[in-house]
Structure 1
Amino acid sequence: MPSSAGLRSPSAVNRRRFLKVSFGGSAALVAAPTLVSWLGAADAKAAAGALAFVDDYRTNVTANLTPETNAVVRVLGGFAKVWKTGPAWNTGTALRPDILRANVRYCVDVTRSRTDAQGREAFVHDRQHQSYAMIAGLGPLADLYKAGAKAVTSITAAPDTTPATTINDAVPADAPAGSAIGAGSHTSDLGQVATLVDTVRGPFASGNPAKAAFQYPRPWRMNANSEVVPTGQTDAFGYPVYDSKVVVVPQLLRQRGTSAADDGGFPSGHTNAFHLASLALAYAVPERFQELVTRALELSHTRIVAGMHSPVDVLGGRIMATALAAATLADPANAELKTAARAQALAYFTRQTGTTADTLFAHAHSDASDKYADREANARVVEPKLTYILDQEGRENPLTVPKGAEVLLETRQPYLTAAQRREVLRTTALPSGYVLLDGFEQWGRLNLFAAADGYGSFDSDVTVTLDAAQGGFQAADAWRNDIAGDGGLTKRGSGTLTLTGHNRYHGGTVLEAGVLVAGHANALGQGDVRLTGGTLRADAPVRVRGGWAQGSGAVLDLTLRGHHGAVLTVSGRVRLEKGAVLSLRLDAEQPPAAGTTVPVIDASALRGQFDRIELNSDRLRAVPVYTADGLSVRLLTR
């Protein structure tokens, strides 16, 4: 059996003796985390015959504090390779001092360099109900949500100094009747959505059992070596002072826990709550899926800014929330609720905005002042927060997507099968080798921000069917990742799929029906392209690395600009069958002038001709000029 963190593994006899002692009475709290440290998460799973997390999540209660009996403690078992809990809250040992020194150093750097504005924001998100804080991720839909759900808060700003008492969120005295803090009222116009959020954040979603099991202290109680060293002094508010360079936000000094033994840092409870609320709202309002994921990561970071948590605490909170949200949404007991919440949100927002299922997404992204309007900016926020201070180590190991995780994408990618959504999660996941993320079932490797943008790789051939009659994402969606792999893509159905990545998949592209949009010069990968039906549209020049074949009835839809090269460049041969159609559009900003000859297709060879060539102009007509290796059109006045 492999040892953990350099420790010698106990013999089989000692292991059995250790297990027996660990489960007895009060010893369970101390010995259980040590068990994971000695045996490693994989051995702990095998020894316990552990169920999949989604089948066992209801074991996350304070009576269960061992990895064998508590599914959350088991999922977070990767932390036991970093930290060994001692006999008391302040006597643990760093098994990976390099990681934990970096962890505390990060806290010191962030808390000592934060601005006053950042500190005030951290206070608000510390004291405000976490579900309410997530509503802002809805962007242009946020105010509508608050009105429809009757969601309110009493905390909107930070005081100038340390408050005299503990502050908690509550319903303001002037709030409308029936208002509620958090996600809102269960009897409101969005009551099913509020109920879904509260259900995902239900009785089995607490981080307290894991805090008790791991007992890793808050950063403001630790020195650089994750040691708790009291100075013997108390501060102006009566709290013990420890040897720590972490600076808590002044407004939060009286909001700190007073019982250190019950106030562990790992995992972060606020982070867990932010992500749980985020994923519940994202299920009901998938039009803002990626933005809600971004906001959850951003708000979780304020826990570090506040001085209340460390990066490993925040990572732990995200891991457990991802697993818990999936388990709750996958639970058959919640099947009717989640369906009703999604239907209610769609009906409410389309009614309030005058949109349809097809146009709600555009409306939900129509506000340029929306904090999360820029997808690339969101990606820059997200990327460093997925791993923080962890470095990748060791060989790359493939990910087996945890059972039930695909439910997280159920409303965001409803046109995919459950197996396909699992492939999306697998091909967009973080690599292995991040010690904390490589725990039981590896929930920490899931990258939901990237998964919202579709496949990361076609490792086998992918067939996708979008149905315009179904509306919403089933009618149209975009895959924005750079797709690699040896497989290819077949697009079916009447809906529209847009590819915007710099794609390198080798298996080719087949369009059978509907619309396929090439939103990048290399969107169509590095294989052959075959159109047997439907319309392939490109608004900018596109390159095909293989050959091109276009059958009867299939349409190639291209935009012509002045002073540009060929719109379609094909490395191989182009074969046009009888009945193939070319539809040309003049660019609105840089249209080619009348009398000019515009290159359309450049290939190594061209065989056949288009049955007809259409041009969206009342004053110009396009006259084809075929050559052995391409096609141009001469634009003449009608």
Structure 2
Amino acid sequence: MSFSTPGMPSAIAVACFALLLGACGGDDNNTTQSSGTTTTPLAVPAAPADPAFVDSAPVKASVTPFVDDIASNQRGVAKYATLETNSGVRLMEGFLNVWEPLTRIVDAAQTAPADGAFPAVVASSWTGLPGDGTPGGTVVNAAIHNANVQYVIDATTARTAAQAEAAYYDDRRGKNYSVTDGMGPLTAAWRAAAQQTTTITSIPADATTIKYDDGGNNVGVAGSANATFGDVITMVNKVGDNASTEPNKRFYKYARPYRWSSSVVVAPTLVPAISPTPNNDGGFVSGHTAEALRNAVVMAYLVPERFQEMLTRGMELGENRILAGMHSPLDVIGGRMLGIASAAANLYIPANAALKASAYTQAHTALMAATGTTPATFRTFAQSGTAANDRFTDYATNKANFNRRMTFGFPQIGSATLEPVVPKGAEVMLETRFPYLSADQRRVVLKTTEIASGYPVMDDAEGWGRLNLFAAGDGYGAFNGNVVVTMDATLGGFHAADLWRNNIGGSGKFTLKGTGNLKLGGANTYSGGTQVAGGALEAASVNAFGTGDVYLGAGSVIINAPASVAIAGKYTQLANTTLDLRVGPNGQGRMTVAGLTTIAGGTLRVAFVNGYAPKAGDTVAIMTGSSIKGQFTAVAVDGYKVTPIYTANGVQVRIDG
């Protein structure tokens, strides 16, 4: 309720309001300052200075970009049989620091006729059976190779029945059908719209004789045969173009873990699925993982409301390949890299632009119709899962699992301080997740959230191995330079409201413009200051605003953190703005300002939340600081009549009724 007198003429009301506020705080806290008989306007600090540069993530020009060269990822073609000419093989060049294949040619059980200057490919003598007395390649880094195999031994000997069951389903069932459960509350609607089927609904009773292949349709029905969802399925299929893992398997010629060590315990239900031709069955890279990740990426693109959950599910399928005994961690890391790069390339290709746009529209139209939701309620429904219908409902668990699966605990064997590098086209994967950012800004999000360098295999020249898409789904990892974000709430979805949960560092400044609501939920340390020039910037954590000044020049600041929000520098609020506090017990929704607080008008709104219900006569502290100058033009407290109280180091509201 605004502090005013009903029925009083507006000019008189304003005058009385000013007198009352002045009586509570003294002249030093008014919008003017008095010195003897001289009255001067309140001195208003300037906004934090804009840094002179805008951060960027330019494409590294030392190699041909994968997104431009994905078509070379072929086997059985002599001109694409080398490290230098095959984009997929080149992506995995870091594996040569661990293992040197028998030949550096795509030639395991593979031939190809001569092609111009490229000689014919002759099948190599690699048998796929380490220790059989024939040359098989050379271990370059014994510590990493041994750890790679030992990881599978440890995982498979400690495997639980539930893990064995999950590994079986993810091995035998269509990979897209498997990862669709990452949609959580949307899974049933997706599968119905896709007309997606599987015949893998139980584990065979006689695991020693049955190789149980899926007779379903995996992704569903594509194209015109599926009027409401066909473009969605066509796009899911499209990310598999030129995405084969066979060139890598036949180039690197690295054996499956159970062939390196008999101590690896392959899941009994999967023993019948072991290939009888080892020289045609390399382990590096994991095909199941690559397919799962490209499916997860494209589904996260089409339904960004499940962005991190879908990526978590894709990574889970990769780990299940280890638990099955079928692949090693390095196989899975390689599969992740190729899967992500392949999905990005096919989303990036201009020829697919119309298809991906239509697929995005179809996905939302069909899923909203099936779930009875609207554009305003769809995201809430997508995130409404419980443990009963969504294995990925716990954010902290998803994040921990994703990060663990990025490296599987391998140590850094190369430089840990290489500069971040972002592949050409990788930003397309964030196109629907952050529609209000520019392509350059999305590249900076990838740059500021990628993992450190030095891990085995992952330091490819373009940066695919270091991309942490889960972290990228939480926004910037650092503000470097001048970061300006504009959101348009009229466009709905993420344009209207979003949450960034990363711990944002850097020395840059952040400015929010437009009309949307952006929540900052990390333990932020960026130091260049925060300016709100439109929209609503919400503090969902106590250190949301970093270590600099906060300047509210237009729009609103919302304080909705579990404890008092710390502003390390100055806080300045201008007229025609709103400070919105969600005040609860134990300091929730309050502000503590270390520097000068200048209130040059504007509105203070307070809502009591989480059961907090002060009674008449109580005085509630809402802002403390070392020096507070000025007053709000209006104060409104939901459900209460109040009197604001201003002092030199605090603002309170007294509950009048």
Q: Common fold, TM-score beyond 0.5?
A: yes
Among candidates 201, 218, 221, match of residue 181 of structure 1: 218
Match of 2:72 in 1: 59
Match of 1:297 in 2: 315
State the one-letter code of the partner of 1:54.
V
**Residues in 2 aligned to 1:409 and 1:562: alpha-carbon distance in whole angstroms:** 38
**Residues in 2 aligned to 1:351 and 1:509: alpha-carbon distance in whole angstroms:** 40
8 Å contact kept, 1:151–1:185: no
**Mapping of residues 505-520 of structure 1, within 5 Å:** 505-520=526-541
Match of 1:199 in 2: 238
Match of 1:24 in 2: none
**Residues in 2 aligned to 1:593 and 1:565: alpha-carbon distance in whole angstroms:** 18
State the one-letter code of the partner of 1:119.
A
Task: Give the deviation of 1:117 after TM superposition.
Answer: 2.3
**Residues in 1 aligned to 2:405 and 2:587: alpha-carbon distance in whole angstroms:** 41
**Mapping of residues 576-595 of structure 1, within 5 Å:** 576-578=599-601, 580-595=602-617
Match of 1:561 in 2: 584
Match of 1:143 in 2: 188
Q: Compare relative contact order (CA 8 Å, sep 6+) and give the higher one, 1 or 2.
A: 2
State the one-letter code of the partner of 1:278.
A
Task: Give the deviation of 1:590 after TM superposition.
Answer: 1.9
Secondary structure of the corresponding residue to residue 341 of structure 1: helix
**Residues in 2 aligned to 1:272 and 1:412: alpha-carbon distance in whole angstroms:** 22
Task: Give the deviation of 1:562 after TM superposition.
Answer: 4.9
Asked which structure has the greater CA Rg, the reply is 2
Query: Is 1:124 aligned to residue 169 of structure 2?
Result: yes
Q: Structure 2 vs 1, CA of residues 121 and 435 (structure 1 numbering), >3 Å: closer, same or farther?
A: closer
Query: Is 1:634 aligned to residue 657 of structure 2?
Result: no
**Residues in 2 aligned to 1:539 and 1:611: alpha-carbon distance in whole angstroms:** 22
Unaligned runs of 5+ in 2: 1-59, 104-125, 129-135
**What is the CA deviation profile of residues 73-105 of structure 1, one whole-angstrom value per residue up to 9, with x for unaligned ones?**
001100011100125244111100000100000
Task: Give the deviation of 1:182 after TM superposition.
Answer: 2.4
**Residues in 1 aligned to 2:316 and 2:588: alpha-carbon distance in whole angstroms:** 43
State the one-letter code of the partner of 2:472.
A
Match of 2:575 in 1: 552
**Residues in 2 aligned to 1:287 and 1:507: alpha-carbon distance in whole angstroms:** 31
TM-score normalised by L of structure 2: 0.83
**Residues in 2 aligned to 1:89 and 1:439: alpha-carbon distance in whole angstroms:** 28
TM-score normalised by L of structure 1: 0.86
Task: Give the deviation of 1:257 after TM superposition.
Answer: 1.0
8 Å contact kept, 1:60–1:209: yes
Q: Which moved more, 1:592-601 or 1:91-100?
A: 592-601
Unaligned runs of 5+ in 1: 1-44, 172-179, 224-243
Task: Give the deviation of 1:435 after TM superposition.
Answer: 2.8
State the one-letter code of the partner of 1:388.
F
Task: Give the deviation of 1:116 after TM superposition.
Answer: 2.1
**Mapping of residues 61-460 of structure 1, within 5 Å:** 61-62=74-75, 63=77, 64-86=80-102, 88-90=126-128, 91-171=136-216, 180-186=217-223, 187-188=225-226, 189-202=228-241, 204-223=242-261, 244-369=262-387, 370-393=390-413, 394-460=415-481
Query: Is 1:624 aligned to residue 644 of structure 2?
Result: yes
Among candidates 535, 538, 542, match of residue 521 of structure 1: 542
8 Å contact kept, 1:565–1:599: no
Secondary structure of the corresponding residue to residue 349 of structure 1: helix
**Residues in 1 aligned to 2:338 and 2:552: alpha-carbon distance in whole angstroms:** 45
Task: Give the deviation of 1:183 after TM superposition.
Answer: 4.2
**Residues in 2 aligned to 1:65 and 1:390: alpha-carbon distance in whole angstroms:** 30
**What is the CA deviation profile of residues 443-497 of structure 1, one whole-angstrom value per residue up to 9, with x for unaligned ones?**
1100000000000000112111111111111111100000000001100111110
Query: Is 1:603 aligned to residue 628 of structure 2?
Result: no
**What is the CA deviation profile of residues 581-621 of structure 1, one whole-angstrom value per residue up to 9, with x for unaligned ones?**
1001122412222211111111111111000100110xx31
Q: Which moved more, 1:520-529 or 1:560-569?
A: 560-569
**What is the CA deviation profile of residues 274-314 of structure 1, one whole-angstrom value per residue up to 9, with x for unaligned ones?**
00111111111111010000001111111001110000000
Query: Is 1:476 aligned to residue 497 of structure 2?
Result: yes
Report the number of matched residues. 559
Q: Structure 2 vs 1, CA of residues 102 and 396 (structure 1 numbering), >3 Å: closer, same or farther?
A: same
**Residues in 1 aligned to 2:457 and 2:318: alpha-carbon distance in whole angstroms:** 17
Secondary structure of the corresponding residue to residue 641 of structure 2: strand
Match of 2:636 in 1: 614
Q: Which moved more, 1:561-570 or 1:493-502?
A: 561-570
**Residues in 2 aligned to 1:285 and 1:459: alpha-carbon distance in whole angstroms:** 30
Secondary structure of the corresponding residue to residue 569 of structure 1: strand
Secondary structure of the corresponding residue to residue 532 of structure 1: strand
Task: Give the deviation of 1:559 after TM superposition.
Answer: 2.2
Q: Which moved more, 1:154-163 or 1:533-542?
A: 154-163
State the one-letter code of the partner of 1:82.
V
Q: Structure 2 vs 1, CA of residues 400 and 588 (structure 1 numbering), >3 Å: closer, same or farther?
A: closer
**Residues in 1 aligned to 2:585 and 2:255: alpha-carbon distance in whole angstroms:** 64
Secondary structure of the corresponding residue to residue 534 of structure 1: strand
**What is the CA deviation profile of residues 384-441 of structure 1, one whole-angstrom value per residue up to 9, with x for unaligned ones?**
1100142124340111211100001011111100000000000000001113100231
Task: Give the deviation of 1:576 after TM superposition.
Answer: 1.0
Q: Structure 2 vs 1, CA of residues 50 and 428 (structure 1 numbering), >3 Å: closer, same or farther?
A: closer
**Residues in 2 aligned to 1:564 and 1:77: alpha-carbon distance in whole angstroms:** 53
8 Å contact kept, 1:566–1:599: no
Task: Give the deviation of 1:564 after TM superposition.
Answer: 4.1
Q: Structure 2 vs 1, CA of residues 417 and 563 (structure 1 numbering), >3 Å: closer, same or farther?
A: closer
**Residues in 1 aligned to 2:409 and 2:622: alpha-carbon distance in whole angstroms:** 50
Secondary structure of the corresponding residue to residue 384 of structure 2: coil
Q: Structure 2 vs 1, CA of residues 432 and 401 (structure 1 numbering), >3 Å: closer, same or farther?
A: same
**Segments of 4+ moved more than 6 angstroms:** none
State the one-letter code of the partner of 1:450.
A
State the one-letter code of the partner of 1:430.
I
Task: Give the deviation of 1:354 after TM superposition.
Answer: 2.6
State the one-letter code of the partner of 1:519.
A
